[in-house]
Structures are given as C-alpha cells and as structure tokens.
Amino acid sequence: MSDQLPFENTFLLLKPDAVQRGLIGRLISRIEEKGLKIVAMKMLQITPEQAARQYECHFGKPFYPSLVEFICSGPSVAMIIEGRGAISLCRRLMGSTSPENSQPGTIRGDYSLDVKHNLIHGSDSPESFAHEAKVYFSEEEIVKYRLDLERWIYYS
C-alpha cells in the first residue's frame, strides 16, 4: 500500500467570540481528536484590510459592514488543518452556519447561539482555502511534518 493517500488542507478561523468565551482549547481539541493535523496556527488581531480580503465575496451585501466590524473586534485564531477530506470533515465538525440548524455534537450546535456569533469559520472548497490561507499565512509559516498517529488513522 502506498504511503501517499489524498490529503488536503483547509483554513479555519476561531472568531473573536470563541476567543472571548475561552473556547480555543475545546475547539482545537475537537479538531485534533478527529485525527486532523494543525500545520499552521497563530493568534492575531485581524485588520480591516485582512477582513476585506477574506470576505471580498460578500462585498456590497447588507451584512458586509457588520461582518468586517465583528471579525476585527477582538483577537482570532487562524489555522491551517491537514487531513484526508479535511474541508468536508471540518465543515461537518463545525455544523450549520445557523446554530438553530446545527446538530448537537457539532461546534456550533453545542456552543453557538446566533449566526453572527457562530464561533468558527472554515473554507468551503479548495479554491476558498487557497484564497483565505494567503490572507493570513505565508508558505514559510506552514509546517510540513508527519504525526506518528497517522499510521493508525490512514494506513493499515
């Protein structure tokens, strides 16, 4: 069997409400306990310029100004996650954007109360990952490594 199975990366952002509520550790634990690997992570104060780059697809929509204001309102934690099917897997872990539609056991289903304060953002496609990751990380900040547990998750 080949050691090279299809892995992909995704971008996750723990928003200011997750940081302010002291949920960073719990949310990261869910990601790691699923067997996903963090290859880049940093806490940062998102600037209006970064927010504009990240949310450029929403520019001109009625909620855009409040979205940018909220994401810049406090520190966030940006991450790049690696794993097989990482994008869809992380989206399932997060739950629906609207907490009332999120299942118990998902991050938003367990911790979020409204759409604005839904704790976490994640890329929805390889294209959005490529765009969002560049807003927050340089290539040099992404660490390439292999966890020993990968043999228990991906290889027989």
Active-site positions?
Answer: 121
Judged by phi (left if over 0) then psi (alpha if -120 to 50, else beta), residue 127 lies in alpha
Phi, psi torsion values for 123, nearest 5 degrees:
-60, 145
CB 81 within 8 A of CB 30: no
Report d(CA 35, CA 149) in Å as an integer.
8
Phi, psi torsion values for 55, nearest 5 degrees:
-100, 25
